Structure 1
Amino acid sequence: MTIRKAVLADSIGIAKVHVDSWRTTYKNIIPDAFLSNLSYDRRTDLWNENIVKEGNYVFVAENSDGEIIGFADCGKRESNHIPESGDVTAIYLLEEYQGKGIGKGLLKQVFLQFEELGFNRIFVEVLEDNKTRYFYEYYGAELYKTKKITIAGAELNLLIYEWNNIRNVLIKF
C-alpha cells in the first residue's frame, strides 16, 4: 500500500472511491435514492477542482496494483474562521480495505500536512450514525458541537469533532 499526494490524473479513481464508499458507508443513513443518484462523472469534476484548489490537500492510498482504494482531503473550510486551524474534510476507503490500517496512514499524512502548515486545532465533521466517528475518537478527537442537517429530505445529526493538539495525534502513529 502506498500513500501519496494526489495528482490531477487521480480524479477518476478518487471519484470511484468517493461514490462507492458513500454507497456503503451511508446505506440506511442517507436515503437510497440519493445514494443511487451519485455520479462518477460529477464526482470526477469535483475532484478535478479539489486537487488544484489553492490551500486544499488531497492524498490517495493505492493497493499493490496501483489502484486507488482510498483518499483523504484536508485544508481549511471557508466557514472555519478560527486562526491556525484546519479541517479534515474527507477520508474514505473502499469497504473491502477498511480495518487494515490504511485510514490510519491517511490520517497520519493529513496531520503531517497540518503540522507543516502550522495548524494547532483540527476539526472533522461526521454524521452521528457513521461508525467512522469512533475512528476519530480513538485518535483523540473530542466532540466540539452538534448540529442538524438535511440530506435528501433526511434530518441528520452532524457531529463536529476537534483535536486541539496535533502533536498528541502524531505520537499515536
Structure 2
Amino acid sequence: MPSIQVRPATLRDAKAIAQIHSLSVQAAYEGIVPQAQLKAMSPEKSQAYWREAIEYCEPQVHVALEDDRIVGFVGFDRSRDEKSRPTTGEIWAIYAAPTHWSKGVGLALWDAARDGLQEEGCTTVTAWVPLRNERAMRFHELAGFKREMTTAKTAVVGGCKIEEVRLQRPLP
C-alpha cells in the first residue's frame, strides 16, 4: 500500500478539497441528514470557502496525498469557541475520501494538525463532532479526545439540525 504524504494546501488544491468534502459529508451523514439536503451539498458551494481558507490561512489547511492524488484534508487553527484560552487549538474539519477510510489518511492528517498546533503554542485541541456520526466519534476517541457532554449543542448541516458535542485532548 502506498504511503500517505501530508503537505500544506495550495490554491490549486481547493477544487479537490471541495470534492472530497462533499463526497465525505454525503457518506458520513447518510442516515443523519436527509438525502435531499446531502445531494444539495455540492463541491461548487464549498470550493470558494476552501480557496479563501487556503489563501488567508484561516484555518490552516493541509492535504493528504497518495501517489500525488489528494485523498483527504484537515483544517485547523485556534479555537473558535468564545471562552477558550489562546492556547486552545481546534480541528475545524478533517475528512478523507470515502474510498480511503480506515487506511491511515485521518491519522496522517491528525499528526500534521497536531504538529502545526503545537508549533503555534497550543496546549490543548478541540473538535466538534456530531453525536450520531459514530465513525468520526470513534476516530477522535482513538486519537485521545474525550467527550465534553456539557457542551452538546444543535448545529445546522445542510439545512438539517443535528446534535454535536465538543471533544478535547491535551497536546503533549
TM-score (norm 1): 0.89
Using the TM superposition, name which of 148-157 and 135-144 deviates more.
Answer: 148-157
**Closer, same or farther in 2 for the Cα pair 1:153/1:113, shift >3 Å?**
closer
Using the TM superposition, name which of 106-115 and 34-43 deviates more.
Answer: 34-43
Using the TM superposition, name which of 115-124 and 141-150 deviates more.
Answer: 141-150
Equivalent residue in structure 2 for 1:148, among 125, 144, 154: 154
**Closer, same or farther in 2 for the Cα pair 1:19/1:104, shift >3 Å?**
same
TM-score (norm 2): 0.89
Q: Deviations over 1:57-98 (max 9, x none)?
A: 10001111x221100000124434322111101110111111
For structure 2, the 5+ residue unaligned runs are none
Q: Deviations over 1:22-52 (max 9, x none)?
A: 1111111111111101122221111111112
Equivalent residue in structure 2 for 1:117, among 114, 117, 120: 120
The within-5 A match list for 1:70-81 is 70-81=72-83
Identity %: 24
**Superposition deviation, residue 100 in structure 1:** 1.1
Say what the alpha-carbon RMSD is for the aligned residues: 1.5
- 1:128 aligned onto 2:131: yes
State the 4+ residue runs in structure 1 displaced beyond 3 angstroms: 77-81, 150-155
What residue in structure 2 maps to residue 171 of structure 1? none
Q: Deviations over 1:76-126 (max 9, x none)?
A: 244343221111011101111111111101000000001100111211001
The within-5 A match list for 1:5-154 is 5-64=8-67, 66-83=68-85, 84-130=87-133, 131-144=135-148, 145-152=151-158, 154=160
**Superposition deviation, residue 156 in structure 1:** 2.1
Aligned residues between the structures: 165
The residue matched to 2:48 in structure 1 has which SS? helix
What residue in structure 2 maps to residue 166 of structure 1? 171
**Superposition deviation, residue 154 in structure 1:** 3.9
